[in-house]
């Protein structure tokens, strides 16, 4: 076992140089008597320790800091590489013991998911940085946020939002309100995306992670915070939609970034502890109005948009003319961004799907316009496409 451990350690070091060839050659080189050891739980656990170190080092090399300024194409190549590593590894292990395959599948899956989170966060941070560097956009965003809050358009469990928002004691008892309050306050004196995310991370560490006395308690507290956090941010988005605020596009970018970042912080913490089973609330939850698919969106933007005169992707809001009871059945997908060849107008192609009635409609929406959509069951929706800048190339 000691000799096998040394050999496997050398393999982990070599894999960074010649990934696919190294994976195939190592596993094919093992002798039958050595292969028999791979069904032992202790050997599998030993390999797991090496794999965690290996994947962490690979992650540090590929994308150590997701706030680094890298191109969309590079982010896409990272995702493709991580997926390829998983395929290469699983193909090479087809004839090996089940216990080994399960343990290695678990570790490589965590690696792939972590890189996907970081590449999506990197793209969203790049986008939000453009908004924060535009003084007029920041000014309008601050004004709109304070307007919907001060005028009581956002309600939390039936209580006016602004009462809790202005009460320091209530803020301490409502972690998600404190987090949002701190972020809005930062808009007055900072445009550095790192400062915003560090502020949020510090609050999560102080009020959620550190007070949790066990992993199980953390999982419950974190999941509960995510539910309330999603509800709060979605409530603000709905209020800004109803008020038709100019900065809805900027806020929605911020909204998505904050949701993903919180999930990333909790997930990463539990992964460090060797537990990736945190129940992360997806944005397709019924409390969330808009559904986004990071991998799908990023691939489309990188592949379909022209490199020089690509349109700026837009963010859409969806409001319902009936009650919100049936809203959870509706899924809203961004398909691609286009330019009208005749007029030069920027368009965004979207699809609205009703999973209950199995109906859907595809639309090409001009930026700045509204579309009234009526489904077969009589539901009516207004789709508003608002302007927001998203970088396509470095």
Residue 247 has pLDDT above 60, yes or no: yes
Residue 160 has pLDDT above 90, yes or no: no
Instruction: Identify which of 255, 217, 258 has the alpha carbon closest to the alpha carbon of residue 141.
Output: 255
Average pLDDT over residues 259-288: 64
Residue 168 has pLDDT above 70, yes or no: no
Where is pLDDT greater, at 282 or 123?
A: 123
Residue 376: per-residue pLDDT: 58
Question: Which of the four pLDDT bands, split at 50, 70 and 90, describes residue 274?
Answer: low
Q: How much of the chain, in percent, has pLDDT values that exceed 70?
A: 67
Q: In a 3-state reduction of DSSP, which class is residue 308? A: coil
Residue 271: per-residue pLDDT: 85
- Mean pLDDT is lowest, of 87-101, 139-153, 251-265, for 139-153
- Mean pLDDT is lowest, of 32-41, 109-118, 154-163, 207-216, for 154-163
Where is pLDDT greater, at 253 or 366?
A: 253
Instruction: Identify which of 366, 248, 368, 253 has the alpha carbon closest to the alpha carbon of residue 317.
Output: 248
Residue 166: per-residue pLDDT: 52
Question: Which of the four pLDDT bands, split at 50, 70 and 90, describes residue 151?
Answer: confident
Question: Which of the four pLDDT bands, split at 50, 70 and 90, describes residue 369?
Answer: low
Contacts of 324 (CB under 8 A, 6+ apart): none
User: Rounded distance, CA 287 to CA 228, Å?
Assistant: 10
Strands (E), the chain: 155-156, 159-160, 315-320, 330-339, 346-354, 359-366, 370-374, 380-386
**DSSP state for residue 247 in the 8-state scheme:** T
- Which long-range contacts does 54-62 make (Cβ < 8 Å, 24+ apart)? 54/12, 54/15, 55/107, 55/108, 55/110, 55/111, 57/16, 58/16, 58/85, 58/111, 59/111, 59/114, 59/115, 59/118, 61/16, 62/115
Where is pLDDT greater, at 213 or 156?
A: 213
Q: pTM for this structure? A: 0.64
Residue 285: per-residue pLDDT: 32
- HSE (side-chain half, CA atoms, 13 Å) at 320: 17
Q: What is the mean pLDDT of the chain?
A: 76
Distances (CA, A) of 166 to 146, 172, 229: 11, 11, 18
Render pLDDT for 275-325 as a digit per residue (tens, 0 to 9): 444 333 333 332 222 223 333 333 333 333 333 333 333 333 444 333 344
For residue 258, the tally of other CB atoms under 10 A from its CB is: 22
Question: Which of the four pLDDT bands, split at 50, 70 and 90, describes residue 366?
Answer: confident
Render pLDDT for 17-66 as a digit per residue (tens, 0 to 9): 688 888 999 999 998 888 889 999 999 999 999 999 999 999 998 898 99
For residue 16, give both structure tokens: 């960074």
């Amino acid at each position: 076992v000691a000799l096998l451990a040394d050999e496997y350690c050398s393999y982990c070091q070599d894999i960074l140089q010649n990934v696919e060839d190294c994976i195939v050659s190592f596993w094919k080189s093992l002798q039958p008597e050595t292969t028999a050891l791979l069904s032992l739980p202790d050997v599998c656990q030993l390999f797991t320790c090496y794999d965690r170190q290996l994947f962490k080092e690979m992650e540090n090399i590929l994308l150590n800091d997701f706030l680094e300024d890298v191109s969309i194409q590079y982010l896409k190549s990272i995702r493709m590489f991580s997926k390829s590593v998983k395929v290469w590894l699983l193909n090479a292990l087809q004839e090996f013991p089940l216990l080994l395959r399960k343990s290695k599948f678990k570790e490589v899956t965590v690696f792939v998911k972590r890189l996907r989170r970081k590449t999506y966060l990197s793209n969203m941070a790049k986008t939000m940085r453009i908004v924060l560097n535009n003084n007029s956009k920041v000014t309008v965003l601050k004004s709109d946020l304070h307007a919907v809050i001060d005028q009581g358009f956002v309600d939390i469990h039936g209580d006016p939002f602004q009462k809790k928002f202005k009460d320091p004691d209530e803020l301490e008892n409502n972690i998600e309100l404190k987090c949002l309050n701190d972020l809005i306050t930062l808009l007055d004196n900072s445009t550095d995306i790192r400062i915003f995310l560090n502020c949020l991370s510090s609050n999560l560490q102080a009020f959620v992670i550190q007070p949790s006395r066990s992993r199980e308690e953390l999982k419950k507290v974190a999941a509960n915070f995510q539910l309330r956090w999603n509800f709060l941010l979605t409530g603000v988005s709905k209020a800004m939609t109803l008020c038709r605020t100019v900065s809805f596009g900027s806020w929605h970018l911020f909204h998505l970034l904050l949701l993903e970042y919180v999930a990333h912080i909790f997930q990463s913490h539990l992964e460090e502890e060797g537990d990736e089973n945190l129940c992360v609330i997806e944005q397709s939850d019924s409390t969330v109005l808009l559904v986004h698919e990071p991998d799908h969106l990023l691939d489309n933007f990188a592949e379909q948009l022209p490199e020089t005169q690509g349109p700026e992707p837009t963010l859409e809001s969806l409001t319902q003319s009936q009650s919100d009871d049936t809203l959870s059945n509706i899924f809203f997908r961004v398909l691609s961004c286009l330019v009208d060849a005749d007029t030069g107008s920027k368009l965004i192609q979207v699809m609205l799907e009703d999973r209950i009635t199995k109906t859907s409609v595809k639309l090409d929406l001009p930026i700045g316009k509204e579309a009234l959509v009526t489904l077969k069951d009589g539901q009516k929706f207004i789709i508003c496409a608002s302007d927001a800048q998203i970088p396509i190339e470095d």
